[in-house]
Chains A and B, each alone.
Chain A
Amino acid sequence: MRFLSESPSVYSQCYRVLDDAGQLISHSNFVPVSEEVAVKMYSNMVTLQTLDTVFYEAQRQGRISFYVTSIGEEAINIASAAALTSDDIVFPQYREPGVLLWRGFTLQEFANQCFGNKADYGKGRQMPIHYGSNKLNYFTVSSTIATQIPHAVGAAYSLKMDKKDACAVTYFGDGGTSEGDFHAAMNFAAVTESPVIFICRNNGWAISTPTSDQFRSDGIAVRGQAYGVRSIRVDGNDALAMYSAVRSARQMAVNEHRPILIEAVTYRVGHHSTSDDSTKYRPADEIEWWRMARDPVTRFRKWIEINGWWGSEAESQLRSSIRSQLLHAIQIAERAEKPPVNDLFTDVYDNIPSNLREQEKLLKETINRHPKDYPADVPI
Chain B
Amino acid sequence: MGFRNIIGRRLGLGLVRRRKPFSTATCDGDGNGNAKSINLYSAINQALHIALETDNRAFVFGEDVSFGGVFRCTTGLADRFGKARVFNTPLCEQGIVGFGIGLAAMGNRAIAEIQFADYIYPAFDQIVNEAAKFRYRSGNQFNCGGLTIRAPYGAVGHGGHYHSQSPEAFFCHVPGIKVVIPRSPRQAKGLLLSCIRDPNPVVFFEPKWLYRLAVEEVPEHDYMLPLSEAEVIRQGSDITLVGWGAQLSVMEQACNEAEKDGISCELIDLKTLLPWDKETVEASVRKTGRVLISHEAPVTGGFGAEISASIVERCFLRLEAPVARVCGLDTPFPLVFEPFYMPTKNKILDAIKATVNY
Q: List residues of A whose CB falls within 8 A of some B CB.
A: 89, 91, 120-123, 125-126, 130, 132-134, 139-140, 142, 144, 147, 149-159, 161, 168, 180-181, 184-185, 187-188, 191-192, 346-350, 353-355
Contacts and interface: CB of A to CB of B under 8 A. Distances in A.
Contacts of B165: none
Given A140-B137, A191-B90, A134 B142 contact: yes
Contacts of B187: none
Interface string B106-134: 11101000000000001001100110010
B90 A132 contact: no
Interface size band for B: 35 or more
A355 B92 contact: no
A133 B139 CA distance: 10
A157 B90 contact: no
A162 B105 CA distance: 14
Interface in B54-84: 57, 84
A152 B133 CA distance: 17
Given A123-B140, A142-B137, 5 more contacts: A142-B130, A153-B99, A188-B98, A349-B176, A350-B145
A347 B200 CA distance: 10
A86 to B, nearest CB: 16
CB-based closest 5 A-B pairs: A154-B102, A150-B98, A184-B95, A151-B102, A154-B103
B92 A187 contact: yes
A142 B129 contact: yes
Contacts of A180: 94, 122
Nearest to A355: B275
A142 B144 CA distance: 15
Nearest to B133: A142
18 contacts: A91-B102, A122-B141, A123-B139, A130-B137, A132-B137, A132-B141, A140-B138, A144-B130, A147-B129, A150-B94, A150-B98, A151-B98, A151-B102, A157-B103, A184-B92, A185-B98, A350-B145, A354-B278
Contacts of A121: 138-139, 141
B106 A155 contact: yes
B39 interface: no
Contacts of A139: 105, 138, 142
B102 A354 contact: no
Contact of B135 (A91, A347, A355): A347
A353 B228 contact: yes
A151 B142 CA distance: 13
B137 A181 contact: no
Interface in B125-184: 125-126, 129-130, 133, 135-143, 145, 175-176, 178
Interface of B: 57, 84, 87, 89-90, 92, 94-95, 97-108, 110, 122, 125-126, 129-130, 133, 135-143, 145, 175-176, 178, 199-200, 228, 275, 278-279
A188 B87 CA distance: 12
A192 B87 CA distance: 9
Given A155-B103, A158-B102, A158-B103, A347 B130 contact: no
A151 B135 contact: no
A226 to B, nearest CB: 13
A348 B98 contact: no
Contacts of B110: 154
Contacts of B101: 150-151, 154
Given A147-B126, A180-B122, A350-B200, A188 B99 contact: yes
Contact of A155 (B89, B102, B133, B178): B102
Contacts of A354: 275, 278-279
Given A149-B98, A151-B105, A155-B106, A355 B278 contact: yes
A191 B92 CA distance: 12
B102 A150 contact: yes
A125 B136 contact: yes
B100 A154 contact: yes
Contacts of B102: 91, 150-158, 168
Contacts of A123: 139-140
B300 to A, nearest CB: 23
B198 to A, nearest CB: 8
Given A130-B137, A134-B142, A355-B278, A144 B176 contact: no
A160 to B, nearest CB: 9
Contact of A348 (B87, B97, B100, B176): B176
B125 A144 contact: yes
A124 B135 CA distance: 13
B139 A154 contact: no
Given A132-B138, A142-B130, A185 B103 contact: no
Contacts of A89: 106
Given A150-B98, A155-B103, A181-B98, A346 B130 contact: no
A132 B135 CA distance: 11
A254 to B, nearest CB: 16
B62 to A, nearest CB: 12
A125 B126 contact: no
Contacts of B200: 349-350
Contacts of A185: 95, 98-99
Contacts of B100: 154
A140 B142 contact: yes
Contacts of B122: 180
A156 B100 CA distance: 11
Contacts of A181: 94-95, 98, 126
A154 B109 CA distance: 12
A119 B328 CA distance: 50
A126 B275 contact: no
Nearest to B138: A140
A352 to B, nearest CB: 10
